[in-house]
Structure 1
Amino acid sequence: MNASAVRHALLAVTATAFGLAGCADMNMPNMSPTARNTAIGAGVGALAGAAIGGDAKGALIGAGVGAAGTYIWSRQMEQKKLAMQQATMGSGATVVQTADNQLKLEVPSDLSFDTGRADIKPNMRPILDQFANGLANQPNTEVRIIGHTDSTGSDELNNRLSLDRAQATKNYLVSRGVAAGQIQVAGRGEHEPVADNSSDAGRARNRRVEIFLGERSVAAR
């Protein structure tokens, strides 16, 4: 394909991408979450593919990647969010919908783990039980568990401890019926604080576990 043809193809793909995103926004009340997010994902992916690939083929590949990489916010996800908010009410844990349509559950240290340990505390178990509820029958869902520590101790110790906490959380969810293949774990150690480590209160906030739940559309898998 010559340069002129490539340029015209890229313009066409770009226009289509913006049209999809615009259509999704304008018709948001009339579109399902699956349709809206897949359209936006395809448009953004097309632009990214064009920028990376530098040709029409790259743009078209990007469109596919964008659509496949999009999480949807279905009625099922909304119900899970409401159930988790009810289960964690007054506990100090937080439940939110992220910008990319994942459900995020953040469990602070006073509920999750004692200092320096990776054993799940009893108060955390009912929360994890509720989180696991129904996921065994939802193969399109993905779970990511990320452990964090405060700045006390060495990097090596904190990296290992944060990963051990994430793994312990995964093991518990698997024991409650969630497929191990649905769950990814990671440890961030002390490297992603949400508060100042110079105070006891700040360190307590930084010792936490974050659990993300995302649902893919059937077509994206």
Structure 2
Amino acid sequence: MHTSKVTPHRAALCLLVGASITLAGCANMGARERGTAQGAALGAAGGAVISAATGGKAGTGALIGGAVGAIAGNIWSHKMEDKRKAMEAATKGTGVEVTRTQDNQLQVNVPSDISFDVGRATIKPELRPVLDHFAAGLDGTMQVRIVGHTDSTGSDAINNPLSVDRAESVKSYLADRGVKSGRITTDGRGSRQPVADNGSEAGRARNRRVEIFLSEPQTGY
């Protein structure tokens, strides 16, 4: 009976298939477990491919890649996932959207009805509890990015600086709550990035917003 030899390249291919199966099985996991599983699967497959291509042992490369991938995939899982859940609970029913971005940032999207009046950069009282919860528990490694937006009413000469002023108002408030200003960056996009149709009042209200992003520094391997 003839048996085919399992070459390093074939082993790498098998690991890639296994990684795909692992990723498919992540659907029922929480974000914490899913990040670890995905990182481990892709890391193992990548390690095997690199090892096979360079003449090494696919299995050894898979073990190393899997360990590194598990750590990388778990970057989101602890503090960031806990913070996401805390912000979701704190903002429930307010219209604030709390999401995880594809590049593992926590995004808090604050609509105009609780953030700023039309044409103003003064923080509304309704926004303060949201920012208080956001500032609570941030450690010294987390970075904050704040982006202000306006609707299309008015000219760019008005909207662009207004969007920056809104972001700066949020930064100032967070700094007063103990978040070091050196960890906060701000930007204003004016009316250039609408999320709704500016042809209706409801759409314009959605476009008048501030977005707050929280991230952890990426560690090289």
**TM-score for both structures, normalised by structure 2:** 0.70
Match of 1:108 among 111, 117, 121: 111
Q: What is the distance in 2 between the residues matched to 1:103 and 1:130?
A: 14
Is contact 1:118–1:165 with CA below 8 Å preserved after alignment? yes
How far off is 1:145 after superposition?
Answer: 0.5
The one-letter code matched in structure 2 to 1:176 is: R
How much does 1:31 deviate?
7.8
CA distance in 2, matches of 1:153, 1:132: 33
Residue 129 of structure 1 aligns with which residue?
Answer: 132
- Contact 2:22/2:38, CA 8 A, preserved across alignment: no
Inter-partner Cα distance in structure 2 for 1:172 and 1:83: 19
Name the amino acid aligned to 1:189: G
The aligned residue for residue 148 of structure 1 is 149
Give 2:210's aligned residue: 209
Shift of the 38–213 alpha-carbon distance from structure 1 to 2, 3 Å rule, reads farther
CA displacement at 1:215 relative to structure 2: 1.5
2:110 partner letter: V
Q: Structure 1 residues 90, 140: closer, same or farther in 2, change over 3 A?
A: same
Larger radius of gyration: 2
Q: Following superposition of structure 1 onto structure 2, how do residues 1-221 of structure 1 map, counting pairs within 5 Å? A: 26=22, 33=35, 72-135=75-138, 138-217=139-218, 219-220=219-220
In 1, Cα distance between the equivalents of 2:112 and 2:217? 30
Is the partner of 2:187 in helix, strand or coil?
strand
Amino-acid identity (%): 55
4+ long deviations beyond 4 Å: 22-41
Change (3 A) 1:24 1:32: farther
Closer, same or farther in 2 for the Cα pair 1:120/1:25, shift >3 Å? Answer: farther
The count of aligned residue pairs is: 186
For 2:20 and 2:183, the matched residues in 1 are separated by 29
Work out whether residues 22 and 37 of structure 2, in 8 Å CA contact, stay in contact via their aligned partners in 1: no
| RMSD of equivalent CA atoms | 3.7
Deviation at 1:166, TM superposition (A): 0.4
Q: Which amino acid in structure 2 is aligned with residue 203 of structure 1?
A: R
Please report the TM-score for the alignment, with normalisation by the length of structure 1: 0.70
Whole-angstrom distance in 1 between the partners of 2:86 and 2:109: 15
Runs of 5+ unmatched residues, structure 2: 1-11, 47-68
Displacement after TM superposition at 1:141 (Å): 1.1
Alpha-carbon distance in 1 for matches of 2:74, 2:165: 27
Change (3 A) 1:37 1:200: same
Unpaired runs of 5+ residues, structure 1, are 1-15, 44-66
Between Structure 1 and Structure 2, the one with more helix by share is 1
Cα distance in 2 for partners of 1:70, 1:142 equals: 19
Is the Cα contact below 8 Å between 1:70 and 1:100 reproduced in 2? no
Name the CA shift for 1:132/1:38 in 2 (closer, same or farther; >3 Å): farther
**Residues 28-37 or 90-99, more deviating:** 28-37
**Does the 8 Å contact 2:22/2:41 carry over to 1?**
no
